[in-house]
């Protein structure tokens, strides 16, 4: 056990830095959690108004539901606010070990990641907007009263949109795996049918639950899969480049001898 702590001793300064950063992130999380918790009413009002649900009554079903919803919204607000600080601390921690080229790629993938998340979130939000408005109007047309639980209503919208935003990040993950030579472009191209089947199965678990919405959600993911293969087909992983250099040097040495 003593030998174990002795081996860790040179890294104690890094552990202390990490501990301080985690403490700072905890304080930031708490501040934004309180802000989101207190502004729950305004946040709910903005989301409900943005859907223009004129034929729907959004209600609470228990006296403690608003408190539970405030906790969830406060957590979501805190997590969203925490991400920029987290990325800044991660970059600040690793930047000394990165080359200029690696720093450029880091910021490139970071920007692309934010754009993909926003596009995925907005795409899912727009689809739910159209779907929920259609359902509310259909219910009113048949003379039914639309009474929706506020917690389920908001949870499905926020969680489904956030999950879809995160799913839109998979081209970056695939690209990194290709660059690390875990997968090849040929492998992804050969397994295209399985990937498309998996995409349809996955989006089938996301709301809305109908077949048409599943197809609409699957199409952009299939497009991203294809564009990832297309773009990566022009670039070779770093490991393959190194292997080619070694092979060429070996051939040159044999020719010299």
What count of other Cβ atoms lies within 10 Å of the Cβ of residue 153?
19
Q: Which helix (H) or strand (E) holds 21?
A: helix 12-38
132-145: pLDDT as tens digits:
888 888 887 788 88
Q: What is the mean pLDDT of the chain?
A: 81
DSSP 9: G
User: Is there a single domain that holds both residue 121 and residue 77?
Assistant: no
C-alpha to C-alpha distances, 111 to 22, 40, 78, 87, nearest whole angstrom? 24, 29, 21, 11
pLDDT-derived band at 6, boundaries 50, 70, 90: low
Examine the domain organization and report whether 134 and 12 are in the same domain: no
Q: Name the H helices within 95-210.
A: 100-141, 150-167, 170-179, 185-190, 192-203
Torsion of CA 112, 118, 124, 130, to 10 degrees: -130
In a shared domain, residues 33 and 148: no
In terms of Cα–Cα distance, which of 79, 85, 35, 208 is closest to 138?
A: 208
**Residue 211 and residue 199: Cα distance in Å, rounded?**
13
257 lies in a domain? no
- Report residue 2's pLDDT band, with 50, 70 and 90 as the boundaries: low
Overall number of domains in the chain: 2
Range of the structural domain that residue 180 is part of:
106-251
Contact residues for 246 (Cβ-Cβ < 8 A; gap 6+): none
Confidence (pTM): 0.77
> Residues 6 or more apart from 162 whose CB is under 8 A from it?
76, 121
Pair 242, 140 in one domain: yes
Q: Out of 54-68, 158-172, 192-206, 238-252, which region has the weakest mean confidence (pLDDT)?
A: 238-252
* b/e sequence 201-239, b meaning 16+ C-beta within 10 Å: eebeebbbeeeebbebbbebbeebbeebbeebeeebbee
State the pLDDT at residue 243.
44
In this structure, the answer to whether residues 27 and 149 fall within a common structural domain is: no
193 occurs within a structural domain: yes
What digits encode the pLDDT tens for the residues 210-234? 888 889 999 999 999 999 999 888 7
Structure tokens belonging to residue 156 = 């499905």
Same structural domain for residues 171 and 212? yes
Task: Check if the beta carbon of residue 70 is closer than 8 Å to that of residue 93.
Answer: no
Q: What average pLDDT score do residues 200-216 get? A: 86
- In this structure, the answer to whether residues 23 and 132 fall within a common structural domain is no
pLDDT tens-digit readout, 79-116: 888 888 888 887 887 787 778 887 888 888 889 989 99
CA pair distance 205, 167, nearest whole angstrom: 13
Is residue 131 domain-shared with residue 70, that is, in the same domain? no
Return the DSSP state at 96.
G
179 lies in a domain? yes
Residue 119 lies in a domain: yes
Q: Tell me: the pLDDT tens digits for 151-198?
A: 888 888 888 888 899 899 999 989 888 887 888 888 889 999 999 999
Tell me the β-bridge partners of 146: 56
* Co-location of 149 and 247 in the same domain: yes
Indicate whether 256 belongs to any domain: no
Q: Which residues of 39-51 are buried (b: 16+ CB within 10 A; e: fewer)?
A: bbeebbeebbeeb
Whether residue 30 contacts residue 77, with contact meaning beta carbons closer than 8 Å, is answered with: no
Closest listed residue to residue 89, CA positions, set 29, 167, 8, 163: 29
> Does residue 100 belong to any structural domain of this protein?
no
Q: Residue 53 domain-assigned?
A: no
Query: How far is the C-alpha of 132 from the C-alpha of 51, rounded, in Å?
Result: 8
Instruction: Evaluate whether residue 99 is within a structural domain.
Output: no
Residues 118 and 236 in one domain: yes
One domain for residues 25 and 67: yes
Please indicate, yes or no, whether residues 116 and 231 belong to a single structural domain of this protein.
yes
């Amino acid at each position: 056990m003593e030998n174990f702590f002795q081996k860790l001793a040179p890294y104690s300064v890094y552990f202390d830095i990490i501990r301080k950063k985690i403490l700072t992130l905890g304080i930031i999380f708490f501040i934004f959690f309180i802000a989101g918790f207190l502004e729950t009413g305004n946040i709910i009002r903005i989301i409900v108004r943005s859907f223009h649900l004129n034929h729907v009554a959004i209600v609470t079903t228990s006296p403690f539901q608003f408190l539970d919803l405030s906790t969830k919204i406060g957590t979501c607000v805190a997590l969203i606010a925490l991400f920029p600080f987290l990325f800044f601390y991660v970059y600040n921690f690793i930047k000394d070990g990165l080359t200029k080229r690696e720093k450029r790629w880091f910021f490139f993938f970071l920007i692309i990641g934010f754009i993909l998340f926003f596009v995925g979130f907005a795409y899912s939000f727009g689809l739910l907007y159209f779907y929920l408005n259609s359902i509310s109007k259909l219910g009113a047309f048949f003379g039914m009263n639309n009474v929706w639980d506020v917690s389920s209503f908001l949870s499905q919208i926020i969680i489904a949109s956030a999950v879809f935003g995160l799913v839109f990040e998979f081209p970056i993950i695939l690209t990194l795996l290709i660059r690390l030579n875990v997968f090849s472009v040929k492998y992804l191209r050969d397994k295209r049918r399985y990937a498309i089947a998996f995409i349809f199965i996955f989006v089938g678990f996301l709301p809305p639950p109908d077949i048409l919405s599943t197809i609409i959600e699957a199409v952009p993911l299939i497009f991203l899969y294809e564009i990832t293969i297309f773009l990566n087909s022009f670039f070779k992983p770093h490991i393959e480049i190194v292997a080619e250099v070694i092979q060429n040097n070996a051939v040159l040495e044999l020719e010299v001898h």
